[in-house]
Amino acid sequence: MSVVVRAASEADFDTLIWLNQIVQSLHAALYPGDFKRVIDPVAVRTLFATRLAAPEHVVGIAEADRVPVGYVWFEVQARPETAFNPSRPRIYVHNISVAPGARRRGVATTLMSYVEQQAASKGIYEVVLDTWAENLEARRFFGSQGFAEFNVMLRKKLPEGS
């Protein structure tokens, strides 16, 4: 299967809604208290319309034989200098989703290569993302792509009303 990635456009909103629901369902299954199982397609369309209009956001659509099979959404972030850190640009990957029938066929790898090519073309040499602790498949995949843990976030749920 030959996979190509192209920039998303407004014509892709229905595809993005469909592909986003795939990753949303996974997140809701892993963390039902944190994620809606089904999301409002109008709200997703609005979100992607806003992101496509912002120059720091990029959405790529993966196609196999001209059929959409995945997407990646990332943001170019300019981290300002602080008293503690030097300034540095980076790319933050917000979402990646691959249609179930296209998994394990190089789609996600091609999408991440697209991200890295975009970073290099912008003179950016750091790509960051996060994944849920229980999403073992994603953690294995990102590890195979050279990503390593550099920050661990912890949480404690308190009783409501406390």
* Residue 102 included in any domain: yes
User: Distances from the Cα of 30 to the Cαs of 10, 21, 49, 100, 132, in angstroms?
Assistant: 30, 14, 28, 17, 8
Residue 84 lies inside a defined structural domain of this protein:
yes
Q: In angstroms, rounded to a whole number, what is the distance separating the alpha carbons of residues 5 and 156?
A: 39
133 found inside a domain? yes
Model pLDDT, residue 162: 61
**Regions of the chain short of the pLDDT cut 50:** none
Return the CATH number at 78.
Answer: 3.40.630.30
Residue 78 within any structural domain of the chain: yes
Write the single-letter amino acid at 22.
I
- The single-letter DSSP state of residue 34 is T
Taking the C-alpha atoms of residue 36 and residue 85, their distance in angstroms, rounded to an integer, is 36
pTM: 0.92
* pLDDT recorded at residue 88: 92
The parent domain of residue 118 ranges over: 3-7+56-144
pLDDT of residue 80: 92
In a domain, 66, yes or no: yes
pLDDT of residue 42: 96
Give the percent of the chain with pLDDT over 70: 99
Residue 79 lies in a domain: yes
Domain membership of residue 154 (yes or no) is no
CB atoms within 10 A of CB 143: 12
Quick: pLDDT tens for 32-74. 999 999 899 999 999 999 999 999 999 999 999 999 999 999 9
Q: How many domains does the chain have?
A: 1
Assigned domain for 65 exists = yes
